[in-house]
Structure 1
Amino acid sequence: MIITIILLTILIISLITDVMKRKILNIVTLPTILIAFSYYTLNLGVNGFFFSGKGFLVGLGLLLIPYLLGGMGAGDVKLMAAIGALMGTSFVFYSFIYTAIIGGLIALILVIKTNGFNNSFKSLFFNTVFLKSNLGSVILQKDKKSSISFPYGVAIVLGTLCTLIWGGY
């Protein structure tokens, strides 16, 4: 029960800060990770430490590659790691699945809303035809103004809430 309250608290705080400031704060995620490790270690001993540790590593690992590729911020990765440390491997994995689906839907809506669907289709076509050759990138110049981004913490929070409500773990 207390773990669920902590989870809901960090989700609400992270949602608010990510929407308002585009940041998920370390002051939220890092203490949560420490609390999770402490709670499970004190209550379940070594098995609890490994339960929390495996969840932490899975949560971290699921978003580490997108972070390294520049697709998301470090706060998103730390939030997913904190969720894993609190709830375990299975829960964080299902949260990730829901998060990916919700994030994809949000991205699709934003692309269609900004009328970038035609440009995205053209880019996909040229990259496929020219196999990512320089000719494809010359034909379609990419600029920073046309890129679409959104606070991915929203998708993480919604995906985690879906797992909390509907389960799957």
Structure 2
Amino acid sequence: MEKVILVIVLFICLFTDIRSRKILNIVTLPAIVFGLFFYLSTTGFEGFLFSGKGFLVGLGLLIIPYILGGMGAGDVKLMAAIGALMGTGFVFYAFIYTALFGGVIGLLLIIKQRGIVNLMKSSIFTLVFFRSNLGSIIIEKDKQSSISFPYGIAIVLGTFCTLIWGGF
């Protein structure tokens, strides 16, 4: 039952994040509440702890990037909902897959916008001087030249990979 709810939540969040760059509270908050009460009603206090710890881990994994301005609150709540529905181990593996997808998508967007030459220059500089100037490529003061994408896409892809393949 919780997997069905998770898949429905993921598809809705994917659609809304692509369409409007928003992950809606009306989707994530009921999923969190459902996860907590579902596990409480099926396995008692142990289930509530299972879901609650998953919620806290999911929240904790993305709260710092949110505080630093790297992502929206909807992304954090979606990961918390995944944790509440599926537990700590699942949300941790979903986060790892999500980070991999997010990195690949980000790299492809950098290559597309900045070109492969700038990426190679940055990589060579990093290797030669053991310093990174990638931040100056990714984050600039000019909003028109900054690169962003709806991170919910990476969260959904990472979660589906965890559903299909499980952990490592």
Aligned length: 159
Q: Is the 8 A contact 2:55 2:82 kept in 1?
A: yes
**Corresponding residue for 1:86?**
85
- SS state of the match for residue 114, structure 2? coil
The Cα of 1:63 is off from its aligned counterpart by: 0.3
TM-score, structure 2 length as denominator? 0.87
The Cα of 1:145 is off from its aligned counterpart by: 1.1
* Distance in structure 2 (CA, Å) of the matches to 1:28 and 1:120: 38
* Distance in structure 2 (CA, Å) of the matches to 1:6 and 1:146: 38
**Corresponding residue for 2:70?**
71
Give unmatched runs, 5+ long, in structure 2.
none
The Cα of 1:120 is off from its aligned counterpart by: 5.9
Equivalent runs, 1:2-151 vs 2, <5 Å: 2-116=1-115, 118-119=117-118, 125=125, 142-151=141-150
The Cα of 1:115 is off from its aligned counterpart by: 2.2
Equivalent runs, 1:157-168 vs 2, <5 Å: 157-168=156-167
CA deviation digits over 1:53-107, x for unaligned, max 9? 0000000000000000000000000000000000000000000000000000000
Give unmatched runs, 5+ long, in structure 1.
none
In the alignment, residue 148 of structure 1 is paired with which amino acid? I
- SS state of the match for residue 15, structure 1? helix
Taking every aligned residue pair, what percent have the same amino acid on both sides?
66
TM-score, structure 1 length as denominator? 0.86
Larger Rg: 1
* Distance in structure 1 (CA, Å) of the matches to 2:37 and 2:143: 43
- SS state of the match for residue 115, structure 1? helix
List 4+ stretches of structure 1 deviating above 4 A: 116-126
